[in-house]
Amino acid sequence: HHHMQGRIIAEANEVRRTAWDLIKFGCFFYFTKSVVFDITLTEGESMKPTLNGRGDIVLLDKLTVNLGRIKRGDVVVSSSPVHPQQLICKRVIGIAGDDVLVRKYGELPYYEQVPQGHVWVEGDNKRFSKDSRDYGPIPQQLILGRVLARVWPLTQFQVIRSNLTE
């Protein structure tokens, strides 16, 4: 009887320790997920060839955004300014104060200045991208994170570079 009680206490301690580990991990994960990293699914043709059209999962760096350090060339995920419940994945072409050369199909190119607190975003796949050329510069608050890497599919793991290709 006494032996049995000892085992129950030992098991209870084990459960408690495991629970605490999970809680610690959970808090850590929650913290990193909310402040530092997040992962999200990207869909659509607008970022080819950088990202596939169907269901890439990307790792987001949220710190850069929270610190206000988004640069030209960064690939970012943001809420759509047109459909707030939708996420969009685009490349930052211009930051506040920049004069961006806007090229729209069938129109003469013109310059537009990016206002304070906004960025100009375009898809890498210009022909199949709805972006700032359609809806203008987007508020920086809409940006959820900078894309660091494609993590899924695993066979196509790839660090996503911040670069501007003309």
pLDDT tens digits for range 78-87: 888 888 888 8
Q: Is the pLDDT confidence value at 106 over 70?
A: yes
* Mean pLDDT of all residues in 38-48: 62
Q: With bands split at pLDDT 50, 70 and 90, how would you rate the model's confidence at 97? A: very high
Q: Which one from 62, 90, 129, 132 is the annotated catalytic residue?
A: 90
Beta-bridge partner residues of 13: none
* Mean pLDDT of all residues in 6-34: 63
Which of residues 64 and 100 earns the better pLDDT score?
Answer: 100
Is 46 among the catalytic positions? yes
According to DSSP, residue 124 is labeled: S
Q: Which residues, 6 or more positions from 103, have their beta carbon under 8 angstroms from its beta carbon?
A: 109, 126, 133
Please tell me the least confidently modeled range out of 137-141, 148-152, 154-158. 154-158
Q: Which residues, 6 or more positions from 35, have their beta carbon under 8 angstroms from its beta carbon?
A: 62, 63, 66
Q: With bands split at pLDDT 50, 70 and 90, how would you rate the model's confidence at 47? A: low
Q: Are 82 and 164 in contact (CB under 8 A)?
A: no
In the prediction, which pLDDT does 166 show?
44
Please tell me the least confidently modeled range out of 6-15, 32-41, 50-59, 66-75. 32-41
Share above pLDDT 70 across residues of the chain, in percent, rounded to a whole number: 59
Mean pLDDT of the chain: 76
Which of residues 118 and 15 earns the better pLDDT score?
Answer: 118
Q: With bands split at pLDDT 50, 70 and 90, how would you rate the model's confidence at 38? A: low
Q: Which one from 46, 78, 129, 132 is the annotated catalytic residue?
A: 46
> From residue 148, how far is each of 2, 38, 54 by CA, in Å?
57, 10, 18
Is 132 among the catalytic positions? no
Q: Report the predicted TM-score, pTM, of the whole model to 2 decimal places.
A: 0.67
Closest-CA residue to 166 (of 93, 99, 98):
93
Share above pLDDT 90 across residues of the chain, in percent, rounded to a whole number: 17
